[in-house]
Each structure stands twice: as C-alpha cells, then as structure tokens.
Structure 1
C-alpha cells in the first residue's frame, strides 16, 4: 500500500481561541482590537488513503493548541448500513500535536496507549450485531473526526479524514469455485506459485465468508474459502453433513496447478473447527490443522463418512442462563466433563497424522474450548502425538483477524436466540493480533511458503 500520509484539513476556531476571542470583541469605541487567527488542524493516517484491514495505521493530528482537549471519533457502516462507532478522549502535547502511537487515551470506548483502539473498540449502534465483511471486493470506509473538547458534549469538528480498509491485497486474485459439488472462492497470491494451500471454514452461520481467506492469501497462501450449507445449491440446513464433500474440496485444491502439495492446511473456527478436526482425523493429505475455539465432539448435526456416522453431541437446554441484559449464556449446555452419552459424538483425533494448533479464548461462552483442548491433548499424548495449544485470557469465542471489534452478543443460528460470546474488548483485541501471527507461523512451518 502507499506510504505517503493523507491530509485533510478543517478550519475553525480552537477551544482556546474562542474563549479568548469573545471579550476582545466588546471593546470601547476607537480602541484597537486583536482577534486570534483561525486554527488549522491537520489529520493524517499512514498508510495514506487506504490499507489492508489487518494492517495497523498511524493516526496523528497537529495544529491544535498546547494541551488542548479533543475527542477522536471513528465510524463505519457495514454493507447492510448498520453503524459502528468508537470514541476516545485525548490531550494534545505542548506542541499542539497528537500521535495515537504515543498519546494515551483518557477514556471513552477505551483507555491507555492503544494506537488501533478506534477500530477494535467499534460498537454497533444497534445491539446484537457482529461486524462481518461480506463483499471483499469493496473496502470498509472508516471516517475519523477530531472534535473540540471532551464528553459529555465535545464541540465542533476540528479535522476529518476518510480511510479505506481493504481485504484484497495488491495482486491477490479472487476466483469463484463451482467444481463438482464444491462451492466456495479461491484466493491466490500474486505471482506464478506454486503456493501452499489452505481450506478455510467458518462456523454454524452458514453461507460463504471470504474475508479471512482473502487476507491470508496476501500472506503467500492459496486459500479456499469453503461454504458447506445455506449457500446456492448446497443443503439449506446442517442436520446432516457428509465428509465426502469436504474431501472433494481438499482434492480440488491439491489438483489446482498453482497449489503445491503433498498436503494442505485447514483453518476453522467454532463449528468449522470441529469439521476441520474431523477432516484431519478421517481424510488423507491433511498436513496442518489450525482450529480456533473448536470442540472435541461433533455438534449441530450428524456427520457421515463412508458408512460411519458421528451423531451430534446431546444438548441440555435446561442449562441455558439468561443474563441481566436479556441475552442467553449457552456455555454449559454441552457436557463438560464428557459423559457416556457423548461417546458416540467424540471425534477420533487419535487417527490424525496432521500437525495440530488450537487457539483458545479462555472466556469463550459458546462452549468450553479450553476443556476440549485439554481433552484432545490427553488423547494425543496417549498415542505419542502432540497438540500445540495457545490460550488467551479474557478472550471470547470469535477470534478474528486483527482489528475486527469483539462481538459481545448476536443471534446464534442454531439456538435461535441472541447469545453472549464472552471476552473483554482490549484483551480480545490483543489476542486477535497474536493469533493471526501464530496462524501464519504455523502454516509456514508445516506447509512452507514465505
């Protein structure tokens, strides 16, 4: 991306200038007067104008009064026109400058030194919404404003900048996939390849989400974002899934001319995580599997493969808990520890030959991801195999690429009600930055690539 700063200016009296200007206008007749010049506030973001969503940006402002109190406000609208906002209070330095990499926030949506806080702290204007990118060919447009003063009523705008946050890096190619039964989108890095291949699978919401795959392709991987239900001519529900479909997707990726073998990687979150664990346990040519808040048991619907069936783990609705905000907490609806009734739903991880990485949010309220990671570790150690586990304190269920805001609560497609996902916003944001690096390091280690 370009590296020159974008500069937008807004003219207006500073808070200090307005305070000083008032009395000087009430002068005796014939007496000379002096009115301060209008202050000019310059706002810059680097990289300029546009950047990739998972890239940090540097936000600065100058032309303020020494020590001037200002409020910075960020906003964006998703593709359904839902508004997300964040704000933080700051004070300019002695030179009238503000640099979010050096200036701590004094409160607002977050506090402390958080250069990217205005993005990861975005919250929906309406509750129960999760920020999701549906069309990666178009950017999110972030508007940044510098307002005079602090809460409860910051004053007029002093400066404004608009920044595009993209999901397709320079030279990344997007190719829709309609091959046999396979439905998805393949993202290829720039250049001739061949590239290490990864199949990317999301959770129980269904449809096709491409934003994680598109960003990962910019890191040198050929990534197939795979749909598996509620998309085009695929099944409308997930009551009955067949592993042969996922096997066909792996074969498609391995046969693609710009994908190198001999195996592929798998990346899954939530329900996509237990699907990836099942793929790694039953299918061939799986070299590395990274799972974000997955489970050891098959959930949601029956999984079939060559005459074998894993029934869904039993759910106990009586363990639903309602929070004071009226949301549902479902963390206890599955059995932890596992009981006799769960045995037929356990994924036989002992069969896998794949390297395994588990990323765990320790405040996951979808289910007890840390418990499942421990159980999988025990089973693998018993047969001389290892599982790499990275746990993140105060981190919830949806561990996304960096700078996506934490989703506090949203509608659960299987529960049919709004549920809480867990996590504390600042800790969750830090976890996402680290997890994104860990995923890339893991796949480079086992799949190759640069």
Structure 2
C-alpha cells in the first residue's frame, strides 16, 4: 500500500484550528522525515522538519508519536507549524491579505535526513489550506472621520461583543487577529494608528482623541452589543490599550499583551493636555551580536512619574499577558509595576497570565515562533526572546483565555 497523509478536520481549516496529521502505508517501524513548508505573500519560504518512526502497523499519528529530532522533539501535534523557520534570516511571517489562505505543504520522506539531503519526490504529501476568515464573516474597510481600519463582523443577526485590535508600531494595518476574533463571535475593528492611508508616518505625541473616535464608532455600530467594548493590543498597541482603558470609560475589557507602564517611545495627549511624556530610549546601550542581531533589552530609559499612565483611573477590567523572556523590553517588570500601582490605589480590576519561556511576539495559535526580525524603529534585525516550544504553548493557551475574558466581561 502506498503511503498517504490524512488531515483532520480536513484539507481546509481556520488558521487558529489544530490539525491532526496521520500517515499510513509505511513499513513497520520505518524511519521517516516529516517536512512542512509554505510561501508567504512576498514569496518568502518557511520550512520545518522532524524525524519520526512509524509504529508496528506502519502508521504515524503526530498527536501521539514523538519527534526524535529535527526542529523540535517530543510529542508536539502542531510542531511542524509553529517551528516553521524562514529561509531568509530575520523574516517574520505576517499575513496581510486575510481573505486568502496560507497553504502549508506537508511531506513525508524515507529515512532521517536534513533539508539539503531530502530527495525531490516525497513518499506522500498533502496541503493544508489555513484560512483567516470563515464563511459569512464580513470584511468592511473603515474610513469614518479620522478612523482608519477594517471592521470584521461575524455571520448571524448579532449584536456581538465589540473589540478593537491593534498591533505593534511597525505601521500599516494588521488584520489577522481581528479576523480570527470575528470567527469566534466578536465584531472586531482592526485599527491602524500610524503609516496607513492618510494617517501620519510619524508623530511626537499620539492623540488619544483618535482612539476615542474609534471607540465611539464601534459602540454605535448596530452589530455591536453595548454598552462597553473590549480592546486587545500587542507591544505599542498594548500601551495604547492601557491608555484607552484609563481615560475612556467605555473600554470595559482591556487585553494588554507584552505592554508598557507608560506611553512607550511616543508621548500621549488628550483634549489638548499632555498626559504622558513617553518613555524614551538610549540607543547607545544597544548591543549587536556577531550575527548582526540587535539586543535592545537595556535601551529603554528609567520610568519617571511624568511618563506613567495613571491606570488606577481605569473603570474596566484589564488582562495582562506577559512573555517572561520578552527581549523587546521587560514586560514582566512593567506588568508587575502596573499591578502594584493598582493595588496601592485599592483596585482589583485586573488579571494576569504570565508565561515562562515566551518572548515578545505573542500571536494567535500556530503562528511560527519568531526569534528575531527587522525592527522599524531600531532599523536593524532585533531579538524578541523566548524559545519556540514555550512560546508556542503560550500562544495556544492564551488564545482561548482571551476570548473567554472578553465574553465574560462584555456580556455582563
């Protein structure tokens, strides 16, 4: 019997959905190399491989069979996905067009071989199309007043809990988290705040009034269940979410992923008043490894009172998510200081999820681990921290907990 690869729930699924990979038709105890690869929207290749041994019946089930070597070891059902590594160093997998899928090719080869030893023809192969929008989700570009972004509306009558999603400072518009949240029943606004459409390419101080407009736009949408909304932010997006929760009472649920106690790098103003001077950095403290990767962990300046966000004024509930090995900045310290400040003011409106071994870029499940990539502010490849296995566990674990948190708070 010829070898074959079977995928469950099937050859197509959502990007954040686990996939069961089984191989049959092998010889009993046959050693094989499993390889996965994809090509991103810019044609950059990502690949992973792992060494396996079939059971006595010539079958292999990645849910139960351990990898004996390669890019990961042990029983890791989605290891081929989260260990995908770029062929071009310092390339991060980013999905821009969420209306299209990412095609992950899964191949089986005889023997335990490195990438450059693999033959052209595999024993068996299959393709998994991983989608970011399920059938019925609406994608609507937003250009309302100053607000720029994309609105994702789940199928059905609604209304649904409303959420704003923002990513790091790299600029442009990031839609993948928002589209995936819409699949799970949230009317989600992917909000741009820099280097997109007619938004500025650089600022000295961010205007919180812009984010207030976005909150009001989302709250007033007929597909949004009020009265409050949620906000999810990563990196710079996280401290903006923290500021929104502090000054905008309609933000009832805030998810702060590897954020800062202050308005990082840039100041923050609201209603013609400077509310945070911004936490600057000293570039001379940056270190460059022999590989050319920048270590920026020590460049952030010491926090001062003028830069701190007065989070004790927040009326909603805040979920802090921390990668304890974040090398962009000390997220564990910042979350601890913020919680300390809340407690000092008699507040208990917070929760925390902290993950040892996780780095900075905590994405939705099964995004490949990114150890280092280009940093637009620094202008060089930068180390993000973490190790692949622990980081990927964190991504999978926090995703369902974020959704449960948002639904619990916003459905009250």
Shared fold per TM-score greater than 0.5:
yes
- Partners in 2 of 1:125 and 1:273 — Cα distance? 30
Q: TM-score, normalised by structure 1?
A: 0.89
Is the aligned partner of 1:335 residue 2:335? no
Shift in Å, 1:318 = 2.3
The corresponding residue for 2:184 is 219
- Partners in 1 of 2:111 and 2:147 — Cα distance? 55
Q: Which has more radius of gyration?
A: 1
The CA deviation string for residues 88-112 of structure 1, in whole angstroms up to 9 with x for no partner, is 0111110011111111011101110
Is the aligned partner of 1:249 residue 2:214? yes
Is the aligned partner of 1:323 residue 2:289? yes
| Contact 2:136 2:154 survives alignment (8 Å) | yes
- Partners in 2 of 1:297 and 1:240 — Cα distance? 13
The corresponding residue for 1:51 is 13
The CA deviation string for residues 353-381 of structure 1, in whole angstroms up to 9 with x for no partner, is 11000000000001000101111111101
The corresponding residue for 1:240 is 205
The corresponding residue for 1:429 is 392
- Partners in 2 of 1:74 and 1:115 — Cα distance? 13
The corresponding residue for 2:353 is 390
Shift in Å, 1:238 = 3.5
| Contact 1:300 1:414 survives alignment (8 Å) | no
Alignment length (residue pairs): 407
The corresponding residue for 2:125 is 160
Structure 2: which 5+ residue stretches go unaligned? Answer: none
The corresponding residue for 1:349 is 311
Kindly report which structure 2 residues correspond to 1:2-401, keeping only aligned pairs within 5 A, or say none.
39-152=1-114, 153-155=117-119, 156-309=121-274, 310-335=276-301, 338=303, 342-386=304-348, 387-401=350-364
Q: Secondary structure at the match of 2:299?
A: coil
Q: Secondary structure at the match of 2:255?
A: strand
Is the aligned partner of 1:403 residue 2:362? no
The CA deviation string for residues 368-422 of structure 1, in whole angstroms up to 9 with x for no partner, is 0010111111110111112211110010000000000111111111111111000
| Contact 2:267 2:279 survives alignment (8 Å) | no
| Contact 2:230 2:410 survives alignment (8 Å) | yes
- Partners in 2 of 1:238 and 1:270 — Cα distance? 17
Give 4+ residue runs of structure 1 displaced > 6 Å after superposition: none
| Contact 2:265 2:281 survives alignment (8 Å) | no
Shift in Å, 1:176 = 0.9
| Contact 1:238 1:300 survives alignment (8 Å) | no
Q: TM-score, normalised by structure 2?
A: 0.97
Shift in Å, 1:300 = 2.2
Shift in Å, 1:282 = 1.1
- Partners in 2 of 1:314 and 1:154 — Cα distance? 49
- Partners in 2 of 1:232 and 1:314 — Cα distance? 27
Q: Secondary structure at the match of 1:51?
A: strand
Q: Secondary structure at the match of 2:149?
A: strand
Shift in Å, 1:274 = 0.5
- CA 1:413/1:271 → structure 2, altered by over 3 Å: closer, same or farther? same
| Contact 1:363 1:423 survives alignment (8 Å) | yes
The CA deviation string for residues 135-168 of structure 1, in whole angstroms up to 9 with x for no partner, is 0000001111101111243454100101100000
- Partners in 1 of 2:328 and 2:347 — Cα distance? 27
